[in-house]
Structure 1
Amino acid sequence: MTEEQDAKGDRPDNPEDAFAQLVDHAQALGFEYCAYGLQVPWPLTRPRTHMFSNYPTVWQARYAEQHYLGIDPTVHHARTSVAPAIWSHRLFAHTPALWQEAQDMGLRVGWVQGVRDVGHNGMLTLARSGEPLSAAERREKASQVLWLAHTAHDTMSCLLPPVIACEGLTSLTEREREILRWTGDGKSASEVAAILEIGERTVHFHVQNVMAKLGAVNKTAAVAQAVALGLL
């Protein structure tokens, strides 16, 4: 995951290798720990979050055991903003126990950068146990951290399911999107056919293609999934 690889289009073969490269970059920037999370909003009732970190294993287990993902203010920040955030008492004002436990585990200084993309959100965290972040260091490294967050996001999006997160808008044809939009507006196949001046069998053909691409069980699910993934 280097600038040269990014320019050539070369990517690691799996998320584990990609994360190992991410750790190397984090350490080169002066952070001993890093974490990356990718949230895909599908299925709607069970959105998936993929998480990678080199935090102490005891902390990873504690974090999962206490379901801290649901109350972590850094996660909430990254889901709602692409502005960087620095760990502080103020940021963790409503979750002091989480803040104290993290510090006790040696996670005392952190830099969070969210990335929002079509259909999925990403979050990069760089952390260390020692030296606080100065204003000068933040200015010096801001562009590098932003580049690293976007590169990690682009890479992981292509390596983690669903693959459609990488294929993005190009995964559906314009005709397929057009039919899904009208279907989402409540139009029947015959009505869509009349609006678009095509045969009803053609409408069914495109709907079936979309369902196959998205793995949807029916056209209602296909519309919902396409909207959730930002394909429309």
Structure 2
Amino acid sequence: MEDSIKGLMVANTVSDVKCQLHKLANLLEFDNFAFGIKVNNLTGIPTIDMINTYSDQWNDIYKKNNFISKDPIVLEGSATSNPIIWEESLKPTHEIFEIANDFNLNIGWSKPSHKPNGVSSLFSFSRSSESLTEAELWKQTPYLLWVANIAEQAFERVNSGYHGYSLVEVLTPREIEILKWSAEGKTASETSMILSISERTVTFHITNAVKKLNTCNKTSAVIKAVTLGLVC
């Protein structure tokens, strides 16, 4: 395993990363891996990129049916950073279950990640048989988390699109702070008292944030900031 980890750490192309991760999947007793990233940006239309070792047929079905918008693993991953056990989330009643089962994609482990630059990712290992037992998870989770972390770094290194939009350069710390209070439902007057600044100053920063985020008012600016991962 150490050789594949080292290989992953120095891989400088997507194909090299894919090769090393497939080896690691097998070493950890899985058949496949998958890595997907979503880069939020100021246009409001995220860029999505995926790489995996699934069959071309499954990838075509997944794309044509827009499964990414209803995949329970992806949906759960968008709201957490905790590891996800597929069998706990992919229920037999879900419309994707039967199709995924035909491609032996019902047993797996995923690790979501969310960064302040508007990038979210989901790394997964899957296999066709033998449920993940508590004993196996207890033993393998440290390695799974380790590989997921290094995989994320590797894709960041070889994929320039992964870096996302530099939100730090878009809004100032004060603008971010005021939007966070606005997201909590605070008025300009209340925010001014909390931050010990004038209401006029609060309004000034909100106006700037609205312009920078290319929105029409404070509410839409807050919504976009939340969508971009700027306000939690």
* TM-score (normalised: structure 1): 0.68
TM-superposed deviation, 1:64: 0.6
Q: Match for residue 68 of structure 1?
A: 67
Q: Match for residue 207 of structure 1?
A: none
Moved more, 42-51 or 137-146: 42-51
Within 5 Å, give how 1:77-156 maps onto structure 2. 77-88=76-87, 91-93=89-91, 96-118=94-116, 119-156=118-155
SS at match of 1:122: strand
CA distance in 1, matches of 2:162, 2:90: 34
CA distance in 1, matches of 2:111, 2:41: 23
Letter in 2 for 1:91: S
CA distance in 1, matches of 2:59, 2:100: 10
CA distance in 2, matches of 1:229, 1:162: 17
> Could you list the runs of 5+ residues in structure 2 that have no partner in the other structure?
180-201, 215-220
CA contact (8 A) 1:114 1:149 kept: no
TM-superposed deviation, 1:16: 2.9
TM-superposed deviation, 1:36: 0.5
TM-superposed deviation, 1:80: 1.1
TM-superposed deviation, 1:230: 4.5
CA contact (8 A) 2:92 2:98 kept: no
CA contact (8 A) 1:114 1:123 kept: yes
CA distance in 2, matches of 1:54, 1:182: 42
CA RMSD of aligned residues (A): 3.6
CA contact (8 A) 1:111 1:125 kept: yes
Q: Relative to 1, partners in 2 of residues 1:139 and 1:182: Cα closer, same or farther, differing over 3 Å?
A: closer
CA distance in 2, matches of 1:186, 1:161: 36
Moved more, 75-84 or 155-164: 155-164
CA contact (8 A) 2:5 2:147 kept: no
CA distance in 1, matches of 2:94, 2:169: 46
CA distance in 1, matches of 2:140, 2:125: 12
CA distance in 1, matches of 2:33, 2:162: 24
Moved more, 130-139 or 41-50: 41-50
1:32 equivalent in alignment to 2:31:
yes
CA contact (8 A) 1:71 1:95 kept: no
CA distance in 2, matches of 1:182, 1:17: 41
1:187 equivalent in alignment to 2:204:
yes
Q: Match for residue 45 of structure 1?
A: 44
Cα-to-partner distance string for 1:45-91 (whole Å, 9 max, x where unaligned): 21011111111111111111111000001001111112222122x52
Q: Match for residue 210 of structure 1?
A: none
> Once the two structures are aligned, what percentage of the paired residues are identical?
20
CA contact (8 A) 2:110 2:124 kept: yes
The aligned length equals 196
CA distance in 1, matches of 2:166, 2:144: 24
Q: Relative to 1, partners in 2 of residues 1:96 and 1:73: Cα closer, same or farther, differing over 3 Å?
A: same
1:158 equivalent in alignment to 2:175:
no
> Could you list the runs of 5+ residues in structure 1 that have no partner in the other structure?
193-217
CA distance in 1, matches of 2:177, 2:82: 36
CA distance in 1, matches of 2:177, 2:144: 41
Q: Relative to 1, partners in 2 of residues 1:62 and 1:178: Cα closer, same or farther, differing over 3 Å?
A: closer
Q: Match for residue 228 of structure 2?
A: 228
CA distance in 1, matches of 2:100, 2:90: 11
Letter in 2 for 1:38: I
CA contact (8 A) 2:4 2:23 kept: no
